[in-house]
Structures are given as C-alpha cells and as structure tokens.
Amino acid sequence: MLENKGKVYLLGAGPGDPGLLTLKARDLLSEAETVVYDYLANTRFLDFCRPDAELIYVGKQGGAHTLSQGAINDLLVAKAKSGKRVARLKGGDPYVFGRGAEEAEELLAAGVSFEVVPGVTSAVAGPAYAGIPLTHRQFASSVTLITGHEDPAKKESAHDWEALARSGSTLVFFMGVKNLELITDNLIKAGLAPETPAALVRWGTTCEQESLADTLSGITTLARSRNMKPPALLVVGQVVALRDKLNWFEQRPLLGKGVVVTRAREQASTLLRLLEDSGACCYEFPSIAIRSMPEYSRLHAAFERLDSYDWLIFTSVNGVRIFWKELRACGLDSRRLGGCSVAAIGPATAEALQKNGITPDFVPRRYVAEEVVQGLQELGVNKARILIPRAEQAREVLPEALQAAGAEVEVLPIYTTQPAEASGTEILERIAEGRVQFITFTSSSTVSNFFQLVSPGDLQAFVPGKVKLACIGPITGRTLESFGFQVDLQPEEYTIPALAQCLIHSSPPC
C-alpha cells in the first residue's frame, strides 16, 4: 500500500507500446489520485488509471506548450502538498532527455517526497523494434545518447563532434529529423566516414513505426524523398547494417493499417490483441454497451430450480460472466449446475465456461442457430427442458427452432445491449484522413448501432474502395447489407480469431 500522504511518482511510460510499461508504473497509475501526463505515444496507458483519478495534460505537441516547465513543477508540488498521490507520467524514461531530474530537484527543494520509476527509453526500444541492436561484439561495444535538438543558428554546437566521430560508439540522436542535415554534415566534417550506416526510426514500437536506412551521407536525401517527419531517432554506426536481417517488427502483416473495432469494450480485448499483435492501429469505437438488468429475481429463482432443467445453453461470454456473477452473489458455485447438460455457442463462450469450472457438453461446429439445433437434436433434446440465459435483445431463431423440435424452452434475459454513448465524428475524420482501412462488425447489433452513430450516407463516400467492411458471419453480414453496404470480408468460421485472420489475409473467403 502507498503511504497515506502526498507524494509524487515520476513514472516512465516507455516509448509507446503499452506492453512496455513496467508493472510498477502500472500499479502506481492504478492507485494515484492525480495523474499529470505529457504527450504520450499511446494514450492506452491512461486506461490503467482509477476511474475517479484527476487527469491533467501538461505536454507539448508541435512546439506548443500546455504549461511551462516551471508551471508543471508548481503543479506537482501543490498537488502533493494537498495530500494527493501524484503519478507524473512521462514518455520514455524520466531521466533520459525527459527533464525528470529537474522536477525531482524542485520536489526535493519543496520538501515533497518522490520516487522515480524508470521507463524503457525509445533510444533502446525504437532501434530494437527496427532490427538495430545498439551494441554487438563485432560492431560496437558502447553507445552514446545525444540530443539532436540544437538551434542551427547557434554560433557553436554544444557537442564535441570530433569526439563523437572517433568514439566508435553507436550514436543515437533524439529528435534528429529537424536538424538531420546539420548532424550528418558535422559528423562527416569531424572525420566519420560518409559510408557509415545510418538509420531513422519514426514512432518506434507503435503501429505507425517506420524506419529507413542509408549511409551517413545519403540519409538526408532519402529522408526527404520519403517525407520522413518527427518524431524520429537517428542511429549512426555499423550496427545499422543488421537492420535488413533483424527487422522483425515491420514484417507484421497489418502494420500501420487502421481498424475500427465496434465491439463493446467488455468484449473487445481478444480482437484488439489479435489485431495489434499483427501490427494494426486499432480504433475502439464501441457501438454497443453491455448493461446489467435492473434486478435479477428471475435469475435467482432459476438458480433454485436448476436441477429441473435438462440443458443450459449459453450464447455469449457476457451471459456466462453475468450468470456466474449472480451465482456467486447468491452464495452458490458451479456445483449448482450438477444436474444440467451445458451447451456453449462458440469457442469463446466455451472457454469462459471452462474458466468457471464447467466443460460444456456440446459446442457446435458452426455457430449459427440451425447448426446448434441439429447438434442438440442428435443429443436428444426433443422433449428436453432448456434454459437460455442471454441478452434481452436477440434473435428468436434458436429458441423457436428448439421449440419446433419439441423442447420446452425458457428464455431468461440477464443483460441488455444498448447503443453506446459516442460520437461518430472522430471516426469519420480518421476515415477521411486515410487512417482507417477496415471496419469490423461482430454482431447484428454492432452494425445497427454503428449506423445510429455514423450516417450510412457519410460512410458511402469511402466504401467501397478506401475502407473494407468485415463481418464475423452471415447474419451480421445480412444486417450490414440492409443498410446498403456489401460485405468485403467474412471468415468461413464465425469466430473472433478467424475474423482477425480474415483481416490479416485481406481477401475472402478467409
């Protein structure tokens, strides 16, 4: 537990990949009452903050400062002295060109307790993701980190260019693009061979990462031809020669491709992980929100008579989650299901059941109602008594087909799906900017609610052509078609992993 008094934690956020945030920084973020943060390469870090945390942005972008450094120092001191636990979140590492030491000195002078939590610096991570090791037994045994942000109008540089040129170190220049020509000219004039390998790494470790390599004398011309812009690191040294062989990150199939994920936030994690692992830039735009029912007296009553049902059919992970939440709230556990056979519609639902100690007796090969009914008929459900805990708004095909087969079916709504409270303006702006290449739909409700937030007419300008529409299955696809759109991508297996693979290959059938 943290001390119950004001304190400032200087946290390194790392270079942008959320997975590179340290566990300690994550834990402190989740406990801080106030979070003061710079411009971050990935705002996903803020998801770790507690819901009631005070979030204060103090960064700069494009040279425009939200607060001066002095004002930031005063803010940290004031918040800590008011008794707050303050997380000061800084990109990269606080002490590597992050002015963290200046903030620490001010805190110390003001009598404020502080801790420093180092972060992964972009100087190491960016080149590593681009296939450039900073040291190598054959090429370099030392590294020098240098700021490239010098005023070219200055009469003298702060750097000893001759010492840098003869050092034999790998040279890493922060903020090196703006003064790229000045840096390369100074190194060559100081005696570094013009043919020395050099590389630029932009937005390292993020889905927008790009890198290019040439010689020290040629890198400026190449950067101009490719319109390379800040923020980027300049790496100079023989280790750059390894980039073509070791560049693993930029081989990811969806690198830089924008994907809109319309699934509810409670459900989106698996799809997001699969897409981001393939390099995609994911834009969460949940068109539906999962809401609990006002009360659960019917569900609690059903718990008392579970042994009267022959089958319990779960149609979603949300149904499993809420069912077990209420089961535990009643002081019960999985043993209460001992007399029921259990069916799961889809592997994700089956996995959710297994996490709660239940191995389903039936999982259909394909995840549509007709296939489910056929499989259950083969297991003899014709006269069975069946309970289906599910969403309040759902297709009636499954219960009606089971009833037609002779089963006695009770449908029990245990959650509701509602249109999310969101604006489609930002997504349309990203589409117009060319940042989005795919929009994914995982259910009919995600389609219907998406078009409550985004006008079909506004989207028509970009589809087909610039943006592809991907649906998890034919039912969702037919809903999309009802709005006047064609399904571009649809997996043969109606699962989240198959949908992700569909985008990776970007061609139907998947």
- Token pair, residue 234, equals 């300049």
Provide CB contacts within 8 A for 430, sequence distance 6+: 258, 283, 436
- Token pair, residue 17, equals 């990949």
- Token pair, residue 459, equals 């989207």
User: CA 144 to CA 167: how far, in whole Å?
Assistant: 9
Tell me which amino acid residue 97 is: F
Known catalytic residue: 60? Answer: yes
Q: Point out the catalytic residue in the list 175, 178, 214, 361.
A: 175
- Terminal Cα-to-Cα distance of the chain (whole angstroms): 49
- Token pair, residue 36, equals 């003061």
Q: Point out the catalytic residue in the list 7, 17, 38, 257.
A: 38
Known catalytic residue: 38? Answer: yes
Q: What are phi and psi of 469, to 5 degrees?
A: -105, 125
Provide CB contacts within 8 A for 440, sequence distance 6+: 259, 260, 261, 262, 263, 271, 470, 471, 472, 499, 503
Closest CA to 17 of 120, 127, 94: 120
User: CA 160 to CA 434: how far, in whole Å?
Assistant: 43
Report in angstroms the alpha-carbon separations of 392 from 9, 31, 413, 418.
45, 36, 5, 10
Q: What is the largest CA-CA distance in the chain?
A: 92
**Ramachandran quadrant class, 175 (left: phi over 0; alpha: psi -120 to 50; beta: rest):** left
Q: Is 360 helix (H, G, I), strand (E, B) or coil?
A: coil
Concatenated DSSP letters of 215-227: ETTTHHHHHHHTT
Known catalytic residue: 81? Answer: no
- Token pair, residue 483, equals 């709005």
Q: Point out the catalytic residue in the list 5, 27, 47, 60.
A: 60
Residue showing tokens 């003064």: 179
Q: Which residues are catalytic?
A: 38, 60, 175
